[in-house]
Amino acid sequence: MSLLFSEFRCCGLRLRNRLAMPPMATELAGPRGEVTPAHLEHYRARAEAGVGLIIVEHSFVAPEGRLSPRQLGAWDDALVPGLRELAQAIRAAGACAALQISHAGSLAQSRLTGAEPVGPSAVLHPRGKEVPRELSEVGLAGVARAFGQAARRCREAGFDAVEVHGAHGFLLSQFLSPLTNRRSDAYGGGIDRRMRFPLEVVEEVRRAVGPDYPVFYRLGADDRLPGGLALDEAVKAAVALERAGVGLLDVSGGLGGSRPEGVGPGYFLPLAAGVRAAVKVPVLNAGGLDDPEVAEAALREGKADIIGVGRALLADPGWVARARLVLGA
C-alpha cells in the first residue's frame, strides 16, 4: 500500500494523502496583491487533481516587504474576501488549504516598494540589490505585528493553516543566517540570539490566531554558502520552533534559495531527515521529488512525513494520476 497516497493527520487536520503542493509564486495577483480569477483556476486544478494539502504562494505581510509586482498579498483586510474565495475553491475540491505569509526583508527593492529595504543588519544580501537599513527594536515589533495580522486574515479567510516563511533568504531566514545577521544586540550572535526574532514572530502569529489553529513554519535549514547557516544550527532552531507552538516544519533551503545547482533528486531530504530526527512534529519536504518512487522511498525511510511536489505539479496537474499508477495506489 502506498504511503504517499495514504491518509495522514496533522495538527488536527485530516489530509487525504501525504502529497502537498508547496508554495510557488505565480505572479497572478492584482496591483495591491489581490486574488484574481487566474489564481482560482490555478489552485482549483491542483486541488481537483487529488493532492492532500496546498500551501498557497508567499503573501506579503506589509507593503515594504513585497518582493515582486504581482505577488499575492495578505497585508490589508480588504484582501480577505478574495483570499476567502481562494480557500473555498481549494477546500471544495477536497484539499486542505494553507497560506504562506512572508516579508522579503533585504531582498525587497525600493523601486517597487517606495521604501528603503530593511534587514537584520546593514549587510548586502548575497542575492540582493540594495544594502538594507538595520531594523530597530521598534521596527522589529512592527514587523512581528504585521505577521500576526496577516495570520489573522488567513484564518478569517477560511484557510486551514498558516505557514510562516523563514526560508529562501527572506527576512526571517536573514535573521537566522550569520551571513546577514551581524547584530551585536540580543537579536544577533549565537543561534539562540539569531533565532529570537523568528520566535517572536511565531509568538505574535500564535497570539493572533489562537492556541488551536495550525501554524506551519518553512525553515531554511542550510544556506549552502561558506560561513552560512548549516544543519546543526537549523536543528536547534527547529526544536525551538516546535517548543514555540509550530505544528509542522516545512524544511527547505536558506539564503541560497529554493533550488541549488548541480544536485540530484530529493536534494533537501538530508536536511529534512536531520530535522525530523530531532522533533516530534511532522516534517514536510520538497525539492526534486517528482519521481513517485523516490517520494515513496523518502516516506518509508522516515526522512519526511509529507512530500511536496512543486514544479511537476506546476507544469501539469495530471502528475498526480500518473503517480498513482506508478505506485499502484
Q: What is the pLDDT of residue 1?
A: 86
Please provide the DSSP assignment of 121-167 as one string.
SS---TT-SSPPEEPPHHHHHHHHHHHHHHHHHHHHTT-SEEEEEE-
Phi-psi region of 245 (alpha: psi -120 to 50; beta: other; left: phi over 0): left
Query: Cα(262)–Cα(24) distance, rounded to whole angstroms?
Result: 21
Q: What is the pLDDT of residue 262?
A: 66
- For 211-238, how does the pLDDT look when each residue is reduced to its tens digit (9 = 90+)? 999 999 999 999 999 999 999 999 999 9
Q: What is the pLDDT of residue 263?
A: 78
- All three cell numbers of 65, joined, read 516587504
Q: What is the pLDDT of residue 131?
A: 98
Of 141, 110, 184, nearest to 149 (Cα)? Answer: 141
- For 129-138, how does the pLDDT look when each residue is reduced to its tens digit (9 = 90+)? 999 999 999 9
| Residue ranges, the chain, pLDDT below 50 | none
Report the percentage of the chain scoring pLDDT > 70. 100
Do the Cβ atoms of 306 and 53 come closer than 8 Å? yes
Query: Cα(278)–Cα(238) distance, rounded to whole angstroms?
Result: 8
What is the biggest distance separating any 2 CA atoms in the chain, rounded to whole angstroms?
56
Q: What is the pLDDT of residue 222?
A: 96
